Amino acid sequence: MTVDGLTSAIRARASKEGFDAVGITRLASDPSSAEKLATFISLGRHGTMTWMSETQDRRSSPLALWPEARSAIVLAQNYAPDIDPLDRLAERLRANISVYALNRDYHDVVKGKLKRIAQWIAHETGADVKVFVDTAPLMEKPLAQRAGVGWQGKHTNVVSRDLGSWFFIGSILTTLELDPDTPESDHCGTCRACLDVCPTDAFPAPYQLDARRCISYLTIEYKGHIPREFRKPMGNRVYGCDDCLAVCPWNKFASTANETKLRARPELIEPSLASLLDLDDKDFRSLFSGSPIKRTGRDRFIRNVLIAAGNSGDRSLLPKIECLLADPCPEVRAMAVWAVWQLAEHECAEALRSRFRPSESDTAVIAEWNLT
């Protein structure tokens, strides 16, 4: 099979698997991306994601990860919602879950497709192949731009003129020397929509992210007590944040996701805060079976739900919040205390403090009780 024939066959296979775009780039050192990564880490903007600094050398170049690789096939999987997720932010009694987490874990969905394509390539050519979906030390966003799939927007995510901001990317690295596509250029222009909409000012400058201020990082990756300055801006967001993606003007060209495994499950669309506050570990695992939310764990998730409850203005949630004041997890207890101070009348809050504060041993929870 000729190189042109193989490239056409790969594109056909990608389309058959349901991918919405595919691009190819030859692998080479990328000093610019490596420098940006080094700056990001040196400024501490990766927060507690120590795996980024631990793998910095390998992450700096695909060739550092796999020296024998010659080409990257980058594929895009559309997951665009059928409604604007920003409309859900006003539903204060209901939880807002990031669009990408409303059904199956995309890592599993996309990786399965990539493996089938990679196995076919290996069978047809005898070449070595490896698949990547956001879990290995590979900077896939710069690869996507060099492969012509999209460009890295001012919100640091990849944007496509055809798919907008709503797509996942996965990569197949191979020892084959494939003909590259034309790299995509930047089409953000003077637009600042994604920067200006961020509720926590997580973008120090265009094309720069401080993860420590990002609601997605705080609700998903961060394991500690969420700083007070970010709790009110979180609103009803209990897992992730889509604001900077949702306002991108290029979304007007996006169509709703075709992959059924990535379409929202009805029970995960705006679940009530009241129902989520009742979740024990077993119920949590059952509700979020197969979802990326399950990996976060019940305690971190309930921590987030309690912040949303505190922002809800709904005092009917107080009995459920009171039950969580004695939760085994200190992060949960701390946010239950915060929610009490937000919702309860002063006399009620003081009564709860008198009841629960004397037996509390965690310094962070005690600090929450002392901050009225």
pLDDT confidence of residue 109: 95
d(CA 17, CA 259): 10
Do the bridges between strand 167-174 and strand 21-26 make them parallel or antiparallel, or are there none, so unpaired? unpaired
User: Which residues are tagged catalytic?
Assistant: 134
* pTM of the shown model: 0.95
pLDDT confidence of residue 143: 97
| Three-class SS state of 151 | strand
Tokens of residue 15, six digits: 């389309």
Binned average pLDDT, 10 residues per bin, the chain of 372 residues? 87 97 95 95 98 93 94 98 94 97 94 97 97 92 98 98 97 97 98 99 98 99 98 99 98 93 93 98 97 97 99 98 98 99 97 97 97 78
pLDDT confidence of residue 4: 79
d(CA 161, CA 188): 10
pLDDT confidence of residue 2: 84
* DSSP assignment string, 44-99: TTTTT-HHHHHTHHHHT-HHHH-TT--EEEEEEEE---SS-GGGGGG-TTB-EE-G
pLDDT confidence of residue 371: 87
Domain 3-84+104-174, architecture per CATH: 3-Layer(aba) Sandwich (3.40)
Q: Domain-by-domain residue ranges, the chain?
A: 3-84+104-174, 200-250+266-370
pLDDT confidence of residue 135: 81
